[in-house]
Amino acid sequence: MNNYKNFELKDWVEDPGFRRWVYRGEDDAYWTSVLKNTPLQAENIEQAREILLMVRGEADEIPEQELASRKANILDYISQETQIRSWWRRSWLQVAAVLLLTMGFGGYYYKRHSQPPYNAVLAQSGSRIIEIVNTNEAVKLVTLPDGSSVILKKAAKISYPASFATDKREVVMLGEAFFEVQKNPEQPFFIYAGEMLTQVTGTSFSIKANAADKQVQLVVKTGVVDISVIRAGNEAGNRHVILNPNQLVTLDRNSSQLAKKDVDEPVLIGLPIESQYFKFKKTPVKDVFLALEQAYGVHIHFDKQVTSRCNITAKLGDEPIREKMQMICEVIGAKFEMQDNAIAVFSNGCDITD
């Protein structure tokens, strides 16, 4: 019997006999005795089994040389991930799954899981991971650490680090949502939604990425959006597109093909904000706040009597709601505080109407 007591995770993954046991059950009595005699290796063995089973659907059809090369890349990536905080001790398995998808091993995994475990990618920021799910019929506003706004429809989910990395902003989402991304060309914004990867620096758009759907879709309201396919097979076709306002892209999950087309309006998931543009001319501030409440699903608390003489003339674009509130409050000399889906405005009133 080999000296399995000193095996590391990569040794188990690379061992031909162990792989044959995992894939085909060969020499079951032998490997059962190995498990019994090396109890300290139980965690490594289980993790190695999980990695190998992720690719079981294709493993028997891939040449051994190519399989060995791919496993080597996975294990190199895993070794980097072991430096992540201990509370994320299983993250290398999730990172391996992401890497498998990008390298063409995704078929089997995607048949069993509706959403790949991209949270391991987020974990590389070294920050605590926040996950928010909208369990209500009403939309839910989420303000990200950089100030970006996300409006989640029912059952939509978003995950993000409590603090973004210095060179990029990454989030994972599932379901239907509308984004207004804070402009920052020095810190690009990435959204992982199923097999679709979206990259922007500051814009607004809607995403429809339901787990049960055969397609992932995105439509652009403002700005420019870069779309690429995360999981791609060997088929030729379109894997990357650039979208401008009023353009929609559809990703077919079976073929991994992208199809782009122009649309009359950037409406995809039926939210008012998709077709709403904030143009005000001597508009009472109470009506301005009402428009924001309806668009973002928030409650804005303010003294209607104190602000009765406050009017707004402005054209607001794709700024996140926090930035919109800052501009409005600067005009009327007020301050505000945001907490979840509630905004409190503090004003001494306006002496002169605009």
Express each pLDDT in 211-259 by its tens digit. 778 899 999 999 999 999 976 444 445 688 999 999 999 999 888 899 9
Of 231, 262, 293, at which residue does a domain stop?
Answer: 262
Whether 82 and 144 share a structural domain? no
Whether 138 and 222 share a structural domain? yes
- The whole-angstrom separation of Cα 207 and Cα 217 is 6
Q: Output the CA torsion 168→174→177→179 (10° steps).
A: 0
3-class SS of residue 97: helix
pLDDT of amino acid 106: 38
Residue 339 domain flag: yes
pLDDT of amino acid 53: 67
Whether 223 and 127 share a structural domain? yes
Taking the CA of residue 337 as centre, how many other CA atoms within 13 Å lie in the half-sphere pointing to its CB? Answer: 3
- The whole-angstrom separation of Cα 118 and Cα 114 is 12
Per-residue pLDDT, averaged over 335-341, amounts to: 90
3-class SS of residue 304: coil
- The whole-angstrom separation of Cα 86 and Cα 74 is 20
Of 82, 113, 144, at which residue does a domain stop?
Answer: 113
pLDDT of amino acid 284: 95
| Least confident span in 49-53, 81-85, 175-179, 192-196 | 81-85
Whether 48 and 153 share a structural domain? no
Residue 271 domain flag: no
324-329: Cβ within 8 A, 24+ apart: 324/278, 324/292, 325/292, 328/285, 328/288
Residue 36 domain flag: yes
Whether 302 and 237 share a structural domain? no
Residue 269 domain flag: no
Instruction: Report which of residues 142 and 97 the model is more confident about.
Output: 142
How many percent of the chain have pLDDT more than 70?
76
Residue 270 domain flag: no
Whether 135 and 191 share a structural domain? yes
Q: Which residues contact 50 (CB under 8 A, 6 or more apart)?
A: 93
- The whole-angstrom separation of Cα 308 and Cα 303 is 8
Other residues' Cβ atoms within 10 Å of the Cβ of residue 42: 10
Of 230, 262, 294, at which residue does a domain stop?
Answer: 262
| Least confident span in 26-35, 163-172, 272-281, 341-350 | 26-35
Whether 15 and 85 share a structural domain? yes
Where does the pLDDT of residue 25 fall: very low under 50, low under 70, confident under 90, or very high at 90 and above? Answer: confident
**DSSP string spanning 207-259?**
EEE-TT-SEEEEEEEES-EEEEESS--S--S--EEEE-TTEEEEEETTTTEEE
Residue 351 domain flag: no
3-class SS of residue 13: helix
Whether 138 and 193 share a structural domain? yes
Contact between residue 25 and residue 56 where contact means Cβ atoms under 8 Å apart: no
Whether 207 and 308 share a structural domain? no
- DSSP 8-state secondary structure symbol assigned to residue 226: E
Task: Name the residue among 140, 44, 51, 136 with its Cα closest to residue 100.
Answer: 51
What is the tens place of the pLDDT at every residue in 115-149?
A: 445 666 777 777 888 999 999 999 999 999 999 99
Whether 141 and 172 share a structural domain? yes
Domain that holds residue 294: 276-346
Residue 354 domain flag: no
Whether 97 and 129 share a structural domain? no
Q: How many separate domains does the chain show?
A: 3
Whether 249 and 178 share a structural domain? yes
3-class SS of residue 26: coil
User: Which residues are paired to 198 by β-bridges?
Assistant: 191, 227
For the chain, the average pLDDT equals 80
Angle (nearest 5°) at CA 204 between 288 and 215: 130
Q: Output the CA torsion 9→14→20→23 (10° steps).
A: 60
CATH number at residue 248: 2.60.120.1440
CATH number at residue 338: 3.55.50.30
Residue 353 domain flag: no
